[in-house]
Amino acid sequence: MLYRYNEWRIVLVQYCNKKGIMFDTNLSWSDDNEKCMLERGHIESYGGAKWAVDSFPKGDYVLFYSKGRGVIAIGEITSRKARELHGAEDADDGRYHEVKMIVPLNVSGSDGYNQSLYPYEIKTLLDKVTRTYKTPYLSEGQVKILIEALQKKYNV
């Protein structure tokens, strides 16, 4: 009986606490994925990694991480379940979650996300090294620190 209680408590904690997910924009593999994700207001995953978005619940924060630049945008997942990606080159093998952008608010064209928090800045602000969608995730407090820093860069 105690095991079930502990199991239930762990699940409850997992769904109540918002977390921040450093999400790779796939720039290493595609020049278009990053732009599409930001302009559509999605996090998207493809191929063998498409399962990644299924593990992120509504309300979690997403920190869009661009290779060589760092965090370029931050949003919050608004969809309850990940969906199949339709109408893109990876439509047969991709999944996505909808995201409400927090910073920058307007993402249109490459000028819409021309600022970033570089890895050394993130390490300085949080006093820790972070990696893309691997545990431990960022806490809600840590995400808010990064939101504030990125808003300053975008003059919001």
Cα atoms in the Cβ-side hemisphere of radius 13 Å centred on 156: 16
Is residue 75 scored above 60 in pLDDT?
yes
Q: What is the pLDDT of residue 137?
A: 86
Pick the closest to residue 54 from 65, 63, 43 (CA basis): 43
For residue 7, tell me if it sits in a domain. no
Residue among 58, 28, 67, 54 nearest 45 (CA)? 54
Band the pLDDT of 94: cuts 50, 70, 90.
Answer: confident
Spatial CA neighbour of 89 closest among 40, 32, 43, 24: 32
The CATH number of the domain where 44 resides is what? 3.10.590.10
Decide if 5 is inside a domain.
Answer: no
Q: Is 38 part of a structural domain of the chain?
A: yes
Residue 106 resides in a domain = yes
Question: Is 11 a member of any domain?
Answer: no
DSSP symbol at 59: T
Residue 131 in domain: yes
1 falls within a domain: no
Per-residue pLDDT for 10 more than 80?
A: no
88 within some domain: yes
Domain with 147 in it: 18-153
In the three-class reduction of DSSP (H, G, I as helix; E, B as strand; rest coil), residue 72 is classed as: strand
Mean pLDDT in residue range 90-99:
78
pLDDT at residue 4 in the model: 38
Q: pTM for the full model?
A: 0.81
Tokens encoding 30: 């595609």
Q: Looking at the 3D structure of the chain, how many domains does it have?
A: 1
- Other CB atoms within 10 A of residue 59 CB: 15
Q: Is 115's pLDDT higher than 60?
A: yes
For the segment 42-53, what is each residue's pLDDT rounded down to a tens digit?
998 888 788 888
Instruction: Work out the pLDDT band at 16, boundaries 50, 70, 90.
Output: low
Whole-angstrom Cα Rg for the chain: 16
